[in-house]
Protein backbone atom coordinates (compact mmCIF):
# COMPACT_ATOMS: atom_id res chain seq x y z
CA UNK A 1 0.00 0.00 0.00
CA UNK A 2 1.24 3.50 -0.81
CA UNK A 3 2.21 5.37 2.37
CA UNK A 4 0.80 8.80 3.06
CA UNK A 5 3.53 11.30 4.02
CA UNK A 6 2.75 13.86 6.76
CA UNK A 7 2.49 16.84 4.39
CA UNK A 8 0.31 14.90 1.93
CA UNK A 9 -1.93 13.86 4.82
CA UNK A 10 -2.19 17.49 5.98
CA UNK A 11 -3.08 18.59 2.43
CA UNK A 12 -5.88 16.02 2.13
CA UNK A 13 -7.26 16.92 5.57
CA UNK A 14 -7.26 20.61 4.60
CA UNK A 15 -8.94 19.89 1.26
CA UNK A 16 -11.74 17.77 2.74
CA UNK A 17 -12.35 20.25 5.56
CA UNK A 18 -12.22 23.32 3.35
CA UNK A 19 -14.50 21.95 0.64
CA UNK A 20 -16.88 19.60 2.46
CA UNK A 21 -16.57 20.24 6.21
CA UNK A 22 -15.42 16.65 6.76
CA UNK A 23 -12.79 16.25 9.47
CA UNK A 24 -10.25 13.51 8.71
CA UNK A 25 -7.60 14.74 11.17
CA UNK A 26 -7.45 11.37 12.93
CA UNK A 27 -8.06 9.20 9.86
CA UNK A 28 -4.66 8.72 8.27
CA UNK A 29 -4.99 4.95 7.97
CA UNK A 30 -8.55 5.25 6.65
CA UNK A 31 -7.32 7.58 3.89
CA UNK A 32 -4.48 5.22 2.98
CA UNK A 33 -6.77 2.19 2.81
CA UNK A 34 -9.70 3.80 1.03
CA UNK A 35 -7.57 5.65 -1.53
CA UNK A 36 -5.30 2.71 -2.41
CA UNK A 37 -7.41 1.44 -5.34
CA UNK A 38 -8.06 4.95 -6.64
CA UNK A 39 -4.34 5.73 -6.77
CA UNK A 40 -3.77 2.45 -8.56
CA UNK A 41 -6.56 3.24 -11.05
CA UNK A 42 -4.93 6.58 -11.83
CA UNK A 43 -1.51 4.91 -12.22
CA UNK A 44 -0.06 6.86 -9.29
CA UNK A 45 2.86 5.74 -7.18
CA UNK A 46 2.55 8.50 -4.55
CA UNK A 47 -0.12 10.65 -2.91
CA UNK A 48 1.86 13.73 -4.01
CA UNK A 49 1.30 12.76 -7.64
CA UNK A 50 -2.40 12.23 -6.96
CA UNK A 51 -2.70 15.63 -5.26
CA UNK A 52 -1.05 17.26 -8.29
CA UNK A 53 -3.59 15.53 -10.51
CA UNK A 54 -6.42 16.73 -8.26
CA UNK A 55 -5.14 20.31 -8.50
CA UNK A 56 -4.83 20.20 -12.30
CA UNK A 57 -8.10 18.40 -13.05
CA UNK A 58 -10.68 20.84 -14.44
CA UNK A 59 -13.40 18.22 -14.98
CA UNK A 60 -14.00 17.68 -11.26
CA UNK A 61 -13.85 13.90 -11.80
CA UNK A 62 -10.80 13.33 -9.61
CA UNK A 63 -12.40 15.26 -6.74
CA UNK A 64 -15.67 13.32 -7.22
CA UNK A 65 -13.87 9.99 -6.95
CA UNK A 66 -12.01 11.15 -3.88
CA UNK A 67 -15.28 12.18 -2.23
CA UNK A 68 -16.83 8.83 -3.17
CA UNK A 69 -13.99 7.07 -1.37
CA UNK A 70 -13.61 9.30 1.66
CA UNK A 71 -17.22 9.81 2.74
CA UNK A 72 -18.72 7.35 5.18
CA UNK A 73 -22.05 6.25 3.74
CA UNK A 74 -23.04 3.84 6.50
CA UNK A 75 -26.84 3.75 6.88
CA UNK A 76 -29.71 1.30 7.18
CA UNK A 77 -33.50 1.11 6.99
CA UNK A 78 -35.34 2.37 10.11
CA UNK A 79 -32.15 3.70 11.68
CA UNK A 80 -32.95 5.43 14.99
CA UNK A 81 -36.44 4.04 14.77
CA UNK A 82 -38.07 6.28 17.39
CA UNK A 83 -37.77 9.17 14.92
CA UNK A 84 -40.19 7.37 12.62
CA UNK A 85 -42.59 6.77 15.49
CA UNK A 86 -42.52 10.49 16.35
CA UNK A 87 -43.07 11.33 12.68
CA UNK A 88 -46.22 9.21 12.63
CA UNK A 89 -47.61 10.25 16.00
CA UNK A 90 -46.73 13.97 16.11
CA UNK A 91 -44.92 15.50 13.17
CA UNK A 92 -47.01 14.25 10.22
CA UNK A 93 -50.34 15.06 11.97
CA UNK A 94 -49.08 18.58 12.65
CA UNK A 95 -47.67 19.19 9.16
CA UNK A 96 -50.62 17.63 7.33
CA UNK A 97 -53.01 19.77 9.30
CA UNK A 98 -51.02 22.94 8.55
CA UNK A 99 -50.60 22.04 4.87
CA UNK A 100 -54.09 20.85 3.98
CA UNK A 101 -54.06 22.97 0.84
CA UNK A 102 -50.37 23.17 0.18
CA UNK A 103 -47.31 20.99 -0.23
CA UNK A 104 -45.31 19.51 2.63
CA UNK A 105 -41.67 20.12 1.70
CA UNK A 106 -39.14 17.66 3.08
CA UNK A 107 -35.37 17.63 2.76
CA UNK A 108 -33.31 14.54 3.46
CA UNK A 109 -29.82 16.06 3.73
CA UNK A 110 -26.98 13.52 3.57
CA UNK A 111 -29.31 10.77 2.34
CA UNK A 112 -26.45 8.41 1.45
CA UNK A 113 -27.64 5.29 -0.42
CA UNK A 114 -31.34 6.02 0.09
CA UNK A 115 -32.41 3.79 2.99
CA UNK A 116 -33.38 6.83 5.07
CA UNK A 117 -35.65 8.45 2.50
CA UNK A 118 -37.30 5.13 1.58
CA UNK A 119 -37.92 4.54 5.30
CA UNK A 120 -39.47 8.00 5.31
CA UNK A 121 -41.76 7.29 2.34
CA UNK A 122 -42.80 3.92 3.81
CA UNK A 123 -43.66 5.67 7.08
CA UNK A 124 -45.49 8.41 5.21
CA UNK A 125 -47.58 5.92 3.24
CA UNK A 126 -48.31 3.97 6.42
CA UNK A 127 -49.51 7.18 8.05
CA UNK A 128 -51.77 8.26 5.17
CA UNK A 129 -53.25 4.74 4.82
CA UNK A 130 -54.02 4.65 8.54
CA UNK A 131 -55.49 8.13 8.92
CA UNK A 132 -56.98 8.69 5.48
CA UNK A 133 -55.25 12.09 5.57
CA UNK A 134 -53.51 13.26 2.47
CA UNK A 135 -51.43 16.20 1.37
CA UNK A 136 -49.07 16.79 -1.46
CA UNK A 137 -45.53 15.88 -0.33
CA UNK A 138 -42.24 16.67 -2.03
CA UNK A 139 -38.94 15.18 -0.86
CA UNK A 140 -35.53 16.44 -1.87
CA UNK A 141 -32.82 13.90 -1.05
CA UNK A 142 -29.25 15.18 -1.33
CA UNK A 143 -25.74 13.90 -0.79
CA UNK A 144 -22.23 14.85 -1.85
CA UNK A 145 -21.32 11.36 -3.05
CA UNK A 146 -22.46 10.54 -6.61
CA UNK A 147 -21.83 6.85 -5.94
CA UNK A 148 -24.19 6.90 -2.97
CA UNK A 149 -26.82 8.82 -4.97
CA UNK A 150 -26.62 6.36 -7.88
CA UNK A 151 -27.35 3.50 -5.49
CA UNK A 152 -30.14 5.50 -3.87
CA UNK A 153 -31.82 6.15 -7.26
CA UNK A 154 -31.45 2.50 -8.17
CA UNK A 155 -33.09 1.35 -4.93
CA UNK A 156 -31.64 -2.17 -4.99
CA UNK A 157 -30.20 -3.49 -1.73
CA UNK A 158 -28.44 -6.64 -0.49
CA UNK A 159 -30.96 -9.06 1.02
CA UNK A 160 -29.46 -8.78 4.54
CA UNK A 161 -30.75 -5.19 4.69
CA UNK A 162 -34.37 -6.37 4.52
CA UNK A 163 -34.13 -7.59 8.13
CA UNK A 164 -34.56 -4.11 9.60
CA UNK A 165 -37.80 -3.46 7.67
CA UNK A 166 -41.01 -4.49 9.50
CA UNK A 167 -42.64 -7.54 7.93
CA UNK A 168 -45.82 -5.80 6.72
CA UNK A 169 -43.78 -3.13 4.95
CA UNK A 170 -41.41 -5.72 3.46
CA UNK A 171 -44.38 -7.51 1.96
CA UNK A 172 -45.83 -4.32 0.56
CA UNK A 173 -42.76 -2.51 -0.77
CA UNK A 174 -39.79 -4.89 -1.18
CA UNK A 175 -39.43 -7.15 -4.22
CA UNK A 176 -36.92 -9.92 -3.68
CA UNK A 177 -34.92 -10.70 -6.83
CA UNK A 178 -34.99 -14.18 -8.40
CA UNK A 179 -31.56 -15.14 -7.05
CA UNK A 180 -32.74 -14.03 -3.57
CA UNK A 181 -29.52 -12.08 -3.06
CA UNK A 182 -31.09 -8.63 -3.16
CA UNK A 183 -34.39 -6.77 -3.13
CA UNK A 184 -35.79 -3.86 -5.07
CA UNK A 185 -37.72 -0.97 -3.58
CA UNK A 186 -41.21 -0.54 -5.03
CA UNK A 187 -41.52 2.38 -7.47
CA UNK A 188 -44.32 3.91 -5.40
CA UNK A 189 -41.73 4.80 -2.75
CA UNK A 190 -39.75 6.79 -5.30
CA UNK A 191 -42.70 8.83 -6.64
CA UNK A 192 -42.15 12.05 -4.72
CA UNK A 193 -38.39 11.88 -4.16
CA UNK A 194 -35.94 13.93 -6.17
CA UNK A 195 -32.29 12.87 -5.66
CA UNK A 196 -29.72 15.56 -6.19
CA UNK A 197 -26.04 16.16 -5.55
CA UNK A 198 -25.48 18.99 -3.13
CA UNK A 199 -22.66 20.08 -0.85
CA UNK A 200 -23.98 21.03 2.58
CA UNK A 201 -21.14 23.54 2.92
CA UNK A 202 -22.48 25.57 -0.02
CA UNK A 203 -24.70 28.57 0.79
CA UNK A 204 -28.37 27.74 1.29
CA UNK A 205 -30.77 28.10 -1.64
CA UNK A 206 -33.93 30.13 -1.08
CA UNK A 207 -36.14 27.04 -0.66
CA UNK A 208 -37.70 26.38 2.78
CA UNK A 209 -38.63 23.02 4.27
CA UNK A 210 -41.28 21.90 6.75
CA UNK A 211 -39.17 18.94 7.77
CA UNK A 212 -35.43 18.36 7.47
CA UNK A 213 -33.67 15.10 8.26
CA UNK A 214 -29.93 15.67 8.56
CA UNK A 215 -28.94 12.66 10.61
CA UNK A 216 -25.44 11.33 11.21
CA UNK A 217 -23.81 13.84 8.92
CA UNK A 218 -22.35 16.48 11.24
CA UNK A 219 -20.64 13.84 13.42
CA UNK A 220 -18.03 13.79 10.65
CA UNK A 221 -17.61 17.59 10.66
CA UNK A 222 -15.28 19.83 12.64
CA UNK A 223 -16.74 22.41 15.05
CA UNK A 224 -16.75 25.32 12.61
CA UNK A 225 -18.43 23.32 9.83
CA UNK A 226 -20.96 21.94 12.30
CA UNK A 227 -21.84 25.50 13.36
CA UNK A 228 -22.15 26.58 9.74
CA UNK A 229 -24.40 23.62 8.96
CA UNK A 230 -26.66 24.20 11.98
CA UNK A 231 -27.15 27.84 10.95
CA UNK A 232 -27.92 26.80 7.38
CA UNK A 233 -30.48 24.20 8.49
CA UNK A 234 -32.14 26.73 10.81
CA UNK A 235 -32.44 29.17 7.92
CA UNK A 236 -33.97 26.52 5.68
CA UNK A 237 -36.86 25.71 8.03
CA UNK A 238 -40.33 27.19 7.71
CA UNK A 239 -41.76 28.60 10.98
CA UNK A 240 -43.04 25.58 12.92
CA UNK A 241 -40.85 23.28 10.81
CA UNK A 242 -38.93 20.32 12.27
CA UNK A 243 -35.29 19.26 12.20
CA UNK A 244 -34.22 15.69 12.94
CA UNK A 245 -30.54 15.01 13.60
CA UNK A 246 -28.68 11.90 14.78
CA UNK A 247 -28.89 10.98 18.47
CA UNK A 248 -25.10 11.25 18.66
CA UNK A 249 -25.25 14.85 17.45
CA UNK A 250 -27.48 16.56 20.04
CA UNK A 251 -27.43 20.38 19.95
CA UNK A 252 -26.58 22.37 23.07
CA UNK A 253 -28.99 25.22 23.95
CA UNK A 254 -26.37 27.84 23.07
CA UNK A 255 -25.81 26.25 19.67
CA UNK A 256 -29.26 26.79 18.24
CA UNK A 257 -32.35 28.93 18.28
CA UNK A 258 -34.47 25.84 17.63
CA UNK A 259 -36.59 24.37 20.38
CA UNK A 260 -35.82 20.83 21.48
CA UNK A 261 -39.07 18.83 21.38
CA UNK A 262 -37.70 15.28 21.73
CA UNK A 263 -34.18 13.87 21.79
CA UNK A 264 -32.67 14.76 18.40
CA UNK A 265 -35.91 16.48 17.27
CA UNK A 266 -36.04 20.29 17.05
CA UNK A 267 -38.66 22.79 16.00
CA UNK A 268 -38.38 26.29 14.54
CA UNK A 269 -40.33 28.47 16.93
CA UNK A 270 -39.66 31.78 15.22
CA UNK A 271 -37.12 32.98 17.82
CA UNK A 272 -34.10 34.95 16.64
CA UNK A 273 -30.79 33.14 16.62
CA UNK A 274 -28.32 34.29 19.25
CA UNK A 275 -24.94 35.38 17.96
CA UNK A 276 -22.38 32.74 18.87
Q: Is-contact 30 69, C-beta < 8 A?
A: no
Quote the least distance from Cβ 178 to ligand SAM, whole Å: 29
Which of 101, 208, 104, 191 is closest to 155 using CA atoms? 191
Smallest gap from residue 84 Cβ to ligand SAM (A): 12
Closest to ligand SAM by CB, 172 or 249: 249
Measured in whole angstroms, the distance separating CA 186 from the mean position of its chain's CA atoms is 21
Per DSSP bridges, beta strands 259-262 and 136-143 are unpaired
- Pairing between β-strand 136-143 and β-strand 193-197 as defined by DSSP bridges: parallel
- Nearest approach in angstroms of CB 246 to ligand SAM is 6
Q: Closest approach of Cβ 243 to ligand SAM, in Å?
A: 13
Residues 198 and 56: their CA atoms lie apart, in Å, by 23
What are the DSSP E strand ranges found in the chain? 103-109, 136-143, 156-158, 174-176, 182-185, 193-197, 209-214, 237-245, 259-262, 265-267
Tell me how far, at minimum, the Cβ of 72 lies from ligand SAM, in Å.
5
Q: What are the φ and ψ backbone dihedral angles of 269, each rounded to 5 degrees?
A: -105, 10
Looking at the Cβ atoms of 39 and 149, the one nearer to ligand SAM is: 149
**Which residues of the chain form contacts with ligand SAM (CB under 6 A)?**
20-22, 71-75, 79, 110, 112, 116, 143-145, 148, 199-201, 215-217, 220, 246
Closest contact distance (angstroms) between CB of 229 and ligand SAM is: 8
Nearest distance from C-beta of residue 34 to ligand SAM, angstroms: 13
Closer residue to ligand SAM (CB): 3 or 196: 196
Q: Which is nearer to ligand SAM, 84 or 96 (CB)?
A: 84
- Which CB, 96 or 233, lies closer to ligand SAM? 233
Helix (H, G, I), strand (E, B) or coil at 249: helix
Nearest to 267 by CA among 219, 208, 210, 227: 210
Share of the chain residues as helix, strand and coil, in percent rounded to the nearest 5? 50, 20, 35
Judged by beta carbon, residue 120 or residue 267, the one nearer ligand SAM is 120
Amino acid sequence: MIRLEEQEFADIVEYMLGHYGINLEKKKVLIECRMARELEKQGMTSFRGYLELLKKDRTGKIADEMINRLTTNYTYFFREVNHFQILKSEIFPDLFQKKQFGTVNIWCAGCSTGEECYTLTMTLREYTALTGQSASVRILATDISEDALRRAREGIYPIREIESIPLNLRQEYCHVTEDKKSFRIDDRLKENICFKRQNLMDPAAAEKYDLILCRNVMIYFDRASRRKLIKKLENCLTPGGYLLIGHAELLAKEETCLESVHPAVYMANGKERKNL
